[in-house]
Amino acid sequence: MSTEQFHTNDEHDVDVWGKHSNKGKYTFPSFDIATILKITIPKITIKKLPEDIIIENTPTFKIILDAFNEAFGIHLSPEELLYSRSSFHAFMHLVETCEIKRYLIISEACEDDYIRSKKRLRDKYTENLRSLERYYDEIIRTVYRPREFSKKDKWVRDEMDHFEQAYTFTKASFQKDKRESGERTFEHPKGVMEIILREFPNPNIKKIILALLHDVQETFPEYADVVRKFYGNYIADGVNELSKKDWRIYLTEAERQQCGEDLEQQNILFNEVRKFLVSEHAERAFTSADKILETEIVAAMDEGQLQRYRIIEKNIKPYMKRAKERRDNDYFGHLDTLDDNGLDVKLADRIHNLRDNSWVEKEKKIRTIEVTKKYFLHIAKKRNPTAYRLMMDEIEKFETSVSK
């Protein structure tokens, strides 16, 4: 991928970017015109285009997107493309270039339908980005203006491009995912970002980007390389530190031997359902099977598959419980090693989870409070008194409600 590098103002380097920022440098995707003009596709003639066609599901769209991805060394899906300002405008420039160079020929009979389809695509993209706009000015006002910077400064605009890319990338990643409450999963990273921006002292763009991305790698391990490539080592390392590892890693060798056959059968069952979802649902035509979440897999199971799943889950449960306890000790036990940016994101994440629990069973709420008291309060009191106060408020609300 073609990239450009920039420097933040050296005087404010540590303040804005964090102590591991490598002197304020990072690489950022640049969809340069020269590369777009060199892209070629096989000649395509569109003779018929139904009025209600979803253009991003057509073979023509896929061919052009594949050429775009190959040219820039990326792997954007149609959904991800529609959530990214820079990549969307570059892609549409490629489409227009293909039309001008006659790689893409639109017959006169369907020219109006083609224009309408492109307009619907732009309208969908605009709707996707609408929620982002309200944060732009708020970040400028809260993060940069107190330091006497504005969006007129080039490096501020570059950093805001980085924020926008993180926002749209996260929203696209979690587009089809919902929490147990039924709420969009994206509401959680967005809520963590809002706590950083609106309630914690000293917000900066690194914390905001970490807040947005903190669950992406945990949910989609295959995105680890994408995060590193797009957002640099500091953000990638921070996301990695904030991501829980798969509980299976924490099984002892003896436990692995005892439940290994059940784990293998579970994997076979999951792959069986993944293949069905990819083959039967048109909206997943260009989606990797690996990105389909366990909740979606279970929801798609037929009665026989669900019965197999429940038997396997029952057999695995005691091993999973012990492994998750070891993981928690490892995961929460290193909070004091996080830098201020990573720690603030983890504290904001905990506060959001404490608040967003009206749908959670009482036992799980109690467990969340216990973990908060054991791992979070002492470090918050020492390094972020605001977070400590906010957590104590939520704990007191819960304990008061239980005592009534």
pLDDT in tens, 334-359: 899 999 999 999 999 999 999 987 66
Task: Give 258-291 pLDDT, tens digit per residue.
Answer: 999 999 999 999 989 888 887 776 444 334 455 5
Quick one: which of 383, 74, 30, 26 has its CA closest to 234? 26
User: If pLDDT is split at 50, 70 and 90, which confidence band does 299 have?
Assistant: confident
> What is the average pLDDT score of the chain?
83
Task: Give the bridge partners for 4, in sequence order.
Answer: 28
Q: Is the confidence at residue 293, as pLDDT, over 80? A: no
Report residue 256 as tokens: 């692995």
pTM: 0.72
Cα 48 to Cα 40: distance, rounded to the nearest angstrom: 23
Domain ranges of the chain: 3-242, 247-403
Question: In terms of Cα–Cα distance, which of 8, 38, 39 is closest to 23?
Answer: 8
**From CA 132, how far away is CA 83, in angstroms rounded?**
10
Q: Which among 182, 181, 192 has a CA at the least distance from the CA of 214?
A: 192
Q: Across 6-88, where does the E strand assignment appear?
A: 27-29, 44-46
